[in-house]
Amino acid sequence: MAIREASLRSQIQVTQDLIRAQEKQLQILQTQFKAGSVSEIEVLTQETLVNQTKATLPPLATSLAQTRHTLATLIGDLPTEADIPSLYLTDIHLPAELPLTVPSSLIRHRPDIKAAEALLREANAQIGIAQGNMFPQLTLTGSVGDISNKYHNLFTSSSNVWSIASQLLQPIFQGGTLLAKEKAASAGYDKMFAQYRQTVLHAFQEVADVLHALVEDANRCKFLAKAEKSARHSLTISQKQYQLGAIAFSTLLTAERYYLQTSISRIQAEAARYADTAALFQALGGDCFALELEQQTQEINSEKSASKENAS
């Protein structure tokens, strides 16, 4: 949400800058129209363009207000009482070293994988418990072989040997139940293992998707930054040429539209890159792994530097 707010504010800022430039151009056209050097159609066309650009501001302002209300709710405040600073994309910075490859060991920090591992260990322990219950449960003492000297007491429940025999036979008579429990525990383990495997595969998929998105985000931002720079330069030249009468008014309008489109696209691309960077941290387990990620990144960079030095 913070990245979305920064993106919306930057879009509003760019749009307002363009509106000021368009209004300045409109004033020039109105002066030229009074002097008889341009037609009324050109003035009306520029007025239309100014109003069309202004019409893009209310939806952006609405989205910005809704985003700030959501942020206020997330921090536990009322929308009217939350003291949230204004955020711009220029206030957000990517990590100095953002890895595009990460060791698989970092994925183990994810809470879902840790939870799946705990359930798998518990299921494995249940198998051991079920198997252990199949062994006779009794206590052996030094007098375990004592038998009553009296014949009529030989088969009483107090006879140690007869009691032990009963306890030895008990698991046999309950064998079907105990075996069923052991099979159930094994089936439970198989289920937990399948869930654990699926959790790990899903985690690797998420990380792979985010890493790929980061590569494409970087390329898109680079190309759009160049396009915006060219569009701004083209607009500046077009404004000067139009004032000198060297180009048609339609050419100037095209330059203005192209600059606005590329500026908004560049802002949205930067916001997507920031969002995907945050998604990478989330996919790898959140803040708990940040330090280890930094250390792993430094190790990878050190290895690359060492390889280059050895090659040279």
191-221 tens-digit pLDDT? 878 888 888 888 888 888 888 888 888 888 8
Instruction: Give the residue carrying structure tokens 């009217």.
Output: 80
Where does the pLDDT of residue 149 fall: very low under 50, low under 70, confident under 90, or very high at 90 and above?
very low
Percent of the chain topping pLDDT 70: 69
Question: What pTM did the predictor assign?
Answer: 0.57
- Burial label, 100 (beta-carbon count in 10 A; 0-12, 13-18, 19+): exposed
Between 237 and 207, residue with greater pLDDT? 237
Domain 101-146+155-306 fold is Outer membrane efflux proteins (OEP) (1.20.1600)
Q: Which two tokens stand for residue 108?
A: 């183990």
- Burial label, 288 (beta-carbon count in 10 A; 0-12, 13-18, 19+): exposed
Average pLDDT on 112-138 reads: 71
pLDDT of residue 72 exceeding 90: no
What is the number of other CB atoms lying within 10 angstroms of the CB of residue 131? 15
Provide the residue ranges of all domains of the chain, joining segments of one domain with +: 1-92, 101-146+155-306
